[in-house]
Structure 1
Amino acid sequence: MRDEERNGRTPEGRRPDDEKNNGVVTAFGRQLKLMRTRAGLERPEFGKLVGYAPQSIASFEQGRRIPPPRFIEQADEVLNAGGVLVALKEEVGRAQYPAFFRDMAKLEAEAVSLHVYAALAVPGLLQTEAYARAVFTTRRPLLDGDTVEQRIAARLARQKIFSRKPMPTLSFVIEESVLRRPVGGRATWRDQLEQLLSHGRLRNVELQVMPNERAEHCGLAGPFTLVETGDGRRMSYVEIQQTSRLYTDRPAVRESEEQYGILRAQALTPSESLAFVEGLLGET
């Protein structure tokens, strides 16, 4: 829980972190201001109706902060916008993600299956808030405080996939070295291992560990994610060093699918993997 929530104050939203995102958020802010002034409401009066401080309203209208979905829905209702503001909610919401991940975030939210190979860090979908914070605060070049909070909120929001209905099929192959690295300190590391156990026991999730001792390993080219959407599209997403590529052509995707199948065969089974994580917890 964020400090604003603990203190009974509504969070003001998050700062967009690139020009394209800023354009989307700025356009929303201009539309919001136009509708507010047409309704004859000053910021303090409007803020009381939607539960936000005048300073927050100003930040939204000026495109300096990303308004949360709840605010957009409330503003649309209070201003009798007829769904005009709500229609922008998805695009505004995508502004919280880094530019290189934005398309993937949309596909992920629609996926019927996701298969993730992780070689560098615990996959974002499985990260605790403390682990995610450690990842973002230690990144170089340094991210400013607003961007860190924005990235954490966006990462945690993605985890709604675990409670989505119908349930998607999710699988993860994670390198042993990733699980042994105490990112954020030992307490954060232990909590992260416990969360991996919790998620790994879900009926629609399979978690596998790739042992360090494996002499044969077909994933040395790096991490990737396989995505399948409800309309049958299959894609392979590769991300490294703040850049990404989404492969949609069938030959390239088939290569990744073959690679992932072999990785799963080389890794510990799901039951062996959960036992392995339990063993790591015993060492902490």
Structure 2
Amino acid sequence: MSGHEEERPERPSEVDGTAHLFRALGKIIKVLRKNAGLSQAELAEATHCSEDLVSSVERGVRTPQPDFLVRADPVLKADGVLIASVDDVRAALARARVRHPDWFRDFAKEEAEAVALHYYAPQAVPGILQTPAYAEIVFRYRRPLYDEPTIEKRLADRLARQAIFDTWPAPTMSFVIEESVLRRPLGGRDAFREQLSRLIDVGRMRSVTLQVMPTNREEHPSLDSSFTLLTPKGRREVAYTETYGYARLITDPEEVRMYTERYGIIRAQALTPHESLELIEKMLGEL
């Protein structure tokens, strides 16, 4: 599977402009910053956030949170333009929390509220890490084909899920991605460069551990589909998996333990976080 929420088409009436809104805001912020003569680092310092956040927002990779827009408006001399978008952003994020199809909604809710999340990705970059260009390719060429409104909705849903990276306190997050996934340049050179850069940005976050499972390992504890382990606040860890469109949110303790054991062995066999980032940086340099 390639990110969880893409497996079944929705009606065109369910589509909204959330993805366009976030991407447009990113472009506006970039223009305002340049007009103000500020670097991304200077804007980050003035708005009390990371340079990575500013870069990701401008590229449309991360959602500009309302608090950031309020702080950035006077710094960028936007005269209330960014503040005026706050209500629309809040409404878009609220829609994202409830618009997922029924079969995916339980997982989406648990994911947004979890205190710990661990993702194993054997087939594609996890949806929560995908850039708009990469995600669009995943949706556009999946069979059976989606229509254009459904593609737009899937993109909006996926980008909205990524707001979790801007929450505080941040959940503990880890990712193990198969090296073969990073050797498949979905979307072409430019789109894949952006995707690898995104992985590097996320891998450097304090709350995130990102590892690559090399293809030269002679043993492997899980040659099935992708899965996610998540710990809801105040409750036991659960697991989520999909196989050919059949989604399961697993709560049985013994079955969850099996996935936890698999994930622990996978992490032990994978490259260290430092080695993983070095490998991705090398791949990026070769594109």
Shared fold by TM > 0.5? yes
Task: Indicate which of 102, 110, 128 corresponds to 2:131.
Answer: 128
Within the alignment, does 1:227 sit opposite 2:230 as a pair? yes
Post-superposition offset of 1:222: 2.1
Give the counterpart letter for 1:97 in structure 2.
Answer: H
CA contact (8 A) 1:124 1:155 kept: yes
Within the alignment, does 1:183 sit opposite 2:176 as a pair? no
Secondary structure in 1 matching 2:198:
helix
- Structure-2 separation of matches of 1:98 and 1:139: 18
Residue aligning to 1:163: 166
Q: Deviations over 1:22-66 (max 9, x none)?
A: 7xxxxxxxxxxxxxxxxxxxxxxxxxxxxxxxxxxxxxxxxxxxx
Within the alignment, does 1:154 sit opposite 2:157 as a pair? yes
Percentage identity across aligned positions?
53
Query: CA distance change for structure 1 residues 138 and 98 in 2, over 3 Å: closer, same or farther?
Result: farther
- Structure-2 separation of matches of 1:194 and 1:135: 18
Within the alignment, does 1:17 sit opposite 2:18 as a pair? no
Residue aligning to 1:275: 278
Q: Deviations over 1:194-241 (max 9, x none)?
A: 100000000000000000100011121221000101112210101122
- Structure-2 separation of matches of 1:189 and 1:99: 32
Task: Indicate which of 224, 246, 250 corresponds to 2:249.
Answer: 246
Post-superposition offset of 1:73: 7.8
Aligned residues: 208
Secondary structure in 2 matching 1:206:
strand
Secondary structure in 1 matching 2:263:
helix
Alignment of 1:59-138 (within 5 A): 70=87, 93-94=96-97, 96-138=99-141
Secondary structure in 1 matching 2:283:
helix
Secondary structure in 2 matching 1:116:
strand
CA contact (8 A) 2:96 2:161 kept: no
Post-superposition offset of 1:140: 1.1
CA contact (8 A) 1:96 1:151 kept: no
Give the counterpart letter for 1:17 in structure 2.
Answer: E
Secondary structure in 1 matching 2:205:
coil
Post-superposition offset of 1:100: 2.9
- Structure-1 separation of matches of 2:141 and 2:202: 25
Unaligned runs of 5+ in 2: 1-8, 15-85
Structure-2-length-normalised TM-score: 0.68
Query: CA distance change for structure 1 residues 170 and 188 in 2, over 3 Å: closer, same or farther?
Result: same
CA contact (8 A) 1:100 1:242 kept: no
Query: CA distance change for structure 1 residues 72 and 276 in 2, over 3 Å: closer, same or farther?
Result: closer
What is the alpha-carbon root mean square deviation over aligned residues?
Answer: 2.4
- Structure-1 separation of matches of 2:217 and 2:245: 29
Unaligned runs of 5+ in 1: 1-15, 23-68, 75-88
Task: Indicate which of 156, 173, 177 corresponds to 2:176.
Answer: 173
Give the counterpart letter for 2:223 in structure 1.
Answer: L
Query: CA distance change for structure 1 residues 200 and 73 in 2, over 3 Å: closer, same or farther?
Result: closer
CA contact (8 A) 1:228 1:234 kept: yes
